[in-house]
Amino acid sequence: MIKQKKKKTVGALRNLYIMLLILFLYVPIAMVVLFSFNTSEMNIVFEGFTLKWYGSFYENRTLMESLENTLIIAVASTFISVVIGTIGAVGLGKYDFFGKKMVDALLYVPIVIPEIVLGVALLSLFTLMDLYMGLGTMILGHVTFCIPFVVISVRARLAGFDKSLEEASMDLGGNHLATFCNVTLPLIMPGVVSGAMLSMSLSLDDIVISFFCSGPGSTTLPLKILDMVKHGVSPEVNALSSIITFIIIICISLDAGAQLKKVKLGTI
């Protein structure tokens, strides 16, 4: 009886902990969605229900320009990071060369150092090179801290890679490029996709690196919202944030459904 009571108590405490954790994570998001329906432009106290912000936020030119810049930077930096990171991960995972351990160690530097240090370093470098500060420098800055995440994700996938499959492809007449495209890349694709999604997420919500690498006309959505905080965030921002949240939830749900379907079919 005592053991059963202990198990029930532990189970109740575990459920309470999980519930509090979920509330801690999702209540702020729920508040953003709630205040996107607020009639008050000050957006401090919920005064009434309205849908007008969902029909007017796209008319906010500066807000939409910042969103466009954010998407351009995120897509471009993710693409470049995935290409460079995948090639680098395959090279580090399959080949031994002089200085490999040093390269392995240096990959973690952009991850572990404070973002403000990396931002100041990039600003100094771009200034020394006399580069025009704008979307180009922001893309380069985002690529700098996204590449290590792609390399780590792909290398994790390569850890359980069966090299005999590549050898079989080569024995059957495939060259290095054909083997990589038809054998290696499909097998490590989950790691590549994970690295791409991680890079996309990091780029979309980055503030510090974007602040130091930005220039005239290259404000991103996070920087725009940060600037608006000084005067008050309008419900239009909440409406746009809610739409982005719903899109992400739909994408996650579709991916979860696809993974569940694969499990039922026995393909994974």
pLDDT digits (tens, 9 = 90+) for 234-243: 788 888 888 8
Please list, in sequence order, all residues whose beta carbon lies within 8 angstroms of the beta carbon of residue 207, skipping any fewer than 6 positions away.
Answer: 222, 223, 226
Domain of 223 in residue numbering reads as 61-265
Q: Give Cα separations from 262 to 256, 257, 265 (angstroms).
A: 10, 9, 5
Q: Higher-confidence residue: 41 or 13?
A: 13
Residue 203 lies in a domain: yes
Nearest to 136 by CA among 38, 236, 213: 213
Q: Which residue has the tokens 């100041």?
A: 120
Residue 195 lies in a domain: yes
Q: Which residue has the tokens 């470098």?
A: 125
Task: Identify whether the C-beta of residue 202 lies closer than 8 Å to the C-beta of residue 215.
Answer: no
Q: Which pairs with CB-CB distance under 8 Å and at least 24 residues apart come from 174-180?
A: 180/90
User: Residue 187 maps to which CATH number?
Assistant: 1.10.3720.10
Q: Which residue has the tokens 């680098």?
A: 88
Residue 190 lies in a domain: yes
**Eight-class DSSP state of 49:** B
Residue 204 lies in a domain: yes
| First CA to last CA distance, the chain | 43
- pLDDT at residue number 59: 81
Residue 170 lies in a domain: yes
Task: For residue range 159-178, list pLDDT tens digits in order.
Answer: 777 777 777 777 777 777 78
Q: Which phi and psi angles does 38 have, rounded to 5°? A: -80, 135
Please list, in sequence order, all residues whose beta carbon lies within 8 angstroms of the beta carbon of residue 188, skipping any fewer than 6 positions away.
Answer: 86, 89, 90, 154, 157, 158, 161
Task: For residue range 209-260, list pLDDT tens digits in order.
Answer: 999 998 887 889 998 888 888 777 778 888 888 888 888 888 888 877 777 7
pLDDT class of 268 with cuts at 50, 70, 90: low
Percent of the chain surpassing pLDDT 70? 96
Q: Over 90: is that where the pLDDT of 78 sits? A: yes
Residue-wise burial string across 129-162, b where 16 or more C-beta atoms lie within 10 A, e elsewhere: eeeebebbbbbbbbbbbbbbbbbbbbbbbbeebe
Q: pTM for the full model?
A: 0.84
Task: For residue range 125-157, list pLDDT tens digits in order.
Answer: 999 998 888 899 999 999 998 999 999 888 888
Nearest to 143 by CA among 86, 84, 102, 193: 84
Q: How many domains does the chain have?
A: 1
Residue 41 lies in a domain: no
Residue 16 lies in a domain: no
Q: Report helix, strand or coil for 249.
A: helix
- pLDDT at residue number 267: 54
Residue 126 lies in a domain: yes
